[in-house]
Structure 1
Amino acid sequence: MTTIQYGTDEKGIRIDHTTLTPRYSVTNDESLNEGIAYLNEHGYTVFSDILSQEEIKTNKDLLWNFFENIPGCHIRRNDPETWSSFWPGFPTSGVVNNCGIGQSDFMWNIRSNRKVKRVFTRIWNTNELLVSFDGCGVFRNWHYDPKWKTNGGWYHVDQNPIEKPDRCCVQGLVSLMKQNETTGGLIIIPNTHLRFAELNDIPRGRGDFIRIPHNHRILDGDQAIAKLVQCQAGDLVLWDSRLVQCNAPAFVTEQQNEGEPVDFLRIVAYVSMSPTTFVQKYTLDEFRKQRKSIVENNITLTHWSTELFQTRSKLNLPKISMKKFDAYQRALILGTDCDDS
C-alpha cells in the first residue's frame, strides 16, 4: 500500500504530491470518453499520447527560438546566466504572456495538434471551436538561482461565479516535460468545481480571476487537501475553470549531477477551445473579424477564446499575415468547421 506524502504551502494547506492522476489515451475512443467523465466528476483530467518525442523536441526548439529573438532580452539557451535580467512574463508564477508569445510559432505548433482539438471536440460536441491565443508557463531551475523559485499558495478560480455560474470554459496545458514532486506544477483542489456557488460571497470586480482567501469555506477551514497533477511529457492536462487551483514549485529536491547542463523544470503551453455559440456581446461575424485582427497584430489573449481580453506587451511587435496559416489553423482562428481526422 502506497503511503501518501503531503507537502504544505505558504497557507498551511496540505498538498498530496505523490498520488498519480489516471492518464487516458487520446488515441482510444473508450479511454477518451473515460477521461472526459473523470473531468466532469473531479474537475480535471490528463490525456496521454498527444505529442511524440520528436514533436516535444521540435516544440522545445521553437520555444527557445522565441526566447532568443525577444528584442533586448539577450537570452541564450546554452547560457543560464542570460536567463535572469530580462526574463519575460511573471517570474513569481512562471507565466509568460507577453512579447508576442500568443502568436508565436511555438504556441501555434502546439495548438495546431489535431489530437488536442479531438479532445475539445468531444467535450463540447462540436467541431466549430475557437482556440485560445494564450501564452505558456516556464519554471527555470531555481537550484541554479534561488531567485527563480516561483510562489505557491495563490489559490484562485479563473471564472466569475456571479456572471458565469455554469461551465463555460475548460482550460488546458500541453506539457513538454514530466511533472512531479521534483518539478512542481499545477495544483488543484479536486471536486471544488461542484461547489462553485460557494464563492459568490467573495468581494470582486467584474473580472474572472477570483483569489480565494485561505480561510474561505471552500478550503474547508484550511483542512482541504490539494493535489499536484503529475503528468508525462507530451500529455494534455485539462481543468474546469470553476476548479480551485494555482501552481507551486517543487516539493522534493532532486540531486543535480556536477557538470549537468541547466534546464527548465517545467514547460507548458496553455491551450483552450470553446464553441462559437459561447460568444456574447458581438455578432459572430464581428467577433471573427476581431480575432483575425488580433492575430495580424500579434496580440496575446487569455484562456478565454470566446472573449477578447488582451495581455500586456510593451514591445512594438511585427505584424503577421493570415497567409502564414493553413486551412486547419484558420478554422481555429475563426471557429469554422474543419475535419480533424
Structure 2
Amino acid sequence: MILDKNGLRIDDTSVSTRFSVRNQTTFNEGVEHLNQYGYAVFSDVMELEEVEENKNLLWQFLETLPPPFNRIRRDRPSTWNHWPGIRSHGVTNTYGLGQSAFMWNIRSNREVKRVYERLWNRSDLLVSFEGCGIFRDWSYNQTWKTESGWNHVDQNPDSKPNRCCVQGFVSLTDQSESTGGLIVFPRSHLRFSELQGLASKARDFVMVPSTHPIFDEGRAIGKLVHCHAGDFVLWDSRLIHCNSPATALKSNCGKVELLRIVAYVSMSPTSLVSTQYTLEQFRLEREQMVRNNCTLTHWSTELVLGGKFLDI
C-alpha cells in the first residue's frame, strides 16, 4: 500500500484477477466484474507472437517520425529524449498515430471486437481512432517519469449520466508496481451522480479533487491494475482512474525496453451516434478523419480530435 501525491491510498501490489476469453464461464465472469467493479482484465486476447509483431509496428512508426523525433531508435535509449506526446501522462496521440498500421492491427484483432460485442450484446459497433500509452524507462532519465494522482473520469456526469462508453487498452507489456500502469477506484462508477457539477461545460475529461466526498475522507483505496502482455483491460468511463509511474522500479538488467506499452481501443454501438448526423453522414465524416490521418479520443460515436497537447 502506498499513498499517491494527494494522500489517497493505492494498493499497488495485489495481483488482478484475469478472465480468459477462451472459456465462456470466465468470459461471463469478467463482464460481471466490469459491471460490478467498473473494470476488468481479459486474458488470451493476443498471442505472444502477435504482441511482438505489434511492438515492431509501433517501433516502425516511432523510427520514421519527422524532426525533431527522427532520431528515435529502439535499441538506443539515448535517442528517446525527444518523444512525441504528453510526457506527464505517457500518452502518445500525435503525428497520425491513430491511423497507423500499428493501431489498425490492434483494432482488427477479432478477440477485441468479441469482447465489446459481449459487453454491448450487439455487433453494430464503431471503433475509436485513439493513440497509445508509452512509459519510457526513467532509470535512464528521471525527467521521463510520468505523474500520478491525476484522478479523473472521462465522461461528463451532467450530460452523460449513464453508461455510454467503455474504454480499453491492449497491453503489449506486463504491468505491475515495477512498471506502473492504470489506477482505478473500484465501484466509483456506481456513484457517478455524486460528481455532477464538477464538469466544465460540455467537457468529458473531469478531474476529481482528492477532497471530494466520493473518496470517503481518504478511506477509499485505489487499485493498480496488474496485467500481462496480450491482455485486454477495460473500464467504464464513469470510473475514477488515472495512470501512475512505477512505485518499485526494478533494474533493467541490461535489457533495452519500454516500461509500458498499451494501445487504446474503445467500441460503442452505432445507436449512440449523435442525432445531428444520420449514420451514413457520420460514417462519411469518419472516413474523412481517416483520410486526414487524424487521431481521435475514446468516443467512437463522436468526432473529437486527440493530440491537442504540445509535444515534449
TM-score category by the smaller chain?
Answer: over 0.9
- Pairing 1:81-100 to 2, within 5 Å after superposition: 81-85=78-82, 87-100=83-96
The residue that corresponds to 2:204 in the other structure is: 208
1:288 matched to 2:283? The reply is yes
- Within the candidate set 248, 253, 260, 2:249 is matched to 253
Please, which of 311, 315, 333 is the counterpart of residue 306 of structure 2?
311
Q: What residue number does 1:10 align with? A: 5
Note the C-alpha offset of 1:205: 2.1
Distance 1:99 1:313, change over 3 A: farther
Deviation at 1:220, TM superposition (A): 1.4
Contact kept? 1:60, 1:176, Cα under 8 Å: yes
Q: Does residue 1:241 correspond to 2:242, yes or no? A: no
Unaligned runs of 5+ in 1: 1-5, 316-341
Matched AA of 1:275: P
Partner of 2:33: 38
- What is the alpha-carbon distance in structure 2 between the residues aligned to residue 296 and residue 40 of structure 1? 36
Deviation sequence 1:47-103 (CA, Å, 0-9, x none) = 000111110110000000000111111211111111112x10100010001111100
Look up the SS of the partner of 1:204 in the other structure. coil
Among 297, 303, 312, the alignment partner of 1:302 is: 297
For 2:56, the equivalent position in structure 1 comes to 61
Q: What aligned pairs does 1:122-271 form with structure 2 within 5 A after superposition? A: 122-257=118-253, 260-271=254-265
| Amino acid across the alignment from 1:10 | K
Q: 1:80 aligns with which of 50, 66, 77?
A: 77
Q: Secondary structure at the match of 2:137?
A: coil
Report how far residue 203 of structure 1 moved.
4.9
Amino acid corresponding to residue 146 of structure 1 in structure 2: Q
> Which range moved further: 201-210 or 101-110?
201-210
Give distance in 1, aligned partners of 2:224 and 2:14: 8
C-alpha contact 1:99 1:314 (8 A) present in aligned 2:
no
Aligned pairs for 1:46-57 within 5 A: 46-57=41-52
- Give secondary structure in 1 for the equivalent of 2:223: strand
SS, match of residue 218 in structure 2: coil
Equivalence for 1:327: none
Deviation (angstroms), 1:8: 1.2
Unmatched tracts of structure 2, length 5 or more? none
Q: CA deviation at 1:201?
A: 2.9
What is the count of residue pairs matched by the alignment? 307
SS at match of 1:45: strand
Residues 53 and 194 of structure 1: CA distance in aligned 2, closer, same or farther (over 3 Å): same
Q: CA deviation at 1:131?
A: 0.3
Which deviations, in whole Å up to 9, do the C-alpha atoms of 1:10-34 show, x marking residues without a partner? 1011100111221111111121111
Question: Deviation digits for residues 267-322 of structure 1, max 9, x if unmatched?
Answer: 0000000000000121111101001111111100000000000123799xxxxxxx
1:78 & 1:17 partners in 2: Cα distance? 29
From the superposition, tell whether residues 314 and 11 of structure 1 become closer, same or farther in structure 2 (CA, over 3 Å). Answer: closer
Cα distance between partner residues in 2 of 1:130 and 1:307: 10
Instruction: Judge conservation of contact 2:178–2:246 (CA < 8 Å) in 1.
Output: yes
Give the Cα–Cα distance (whole angstroms) in 2 for the partners of residues 202 and 296 of structure 1: 36
Q: Report Cα offsets for 1:99-143 as digits up to 9, x if no partner.
A: 111000000011100000000001111111100000000000001
Q: Identity of counterpart residues, as a percentage?
A: 55
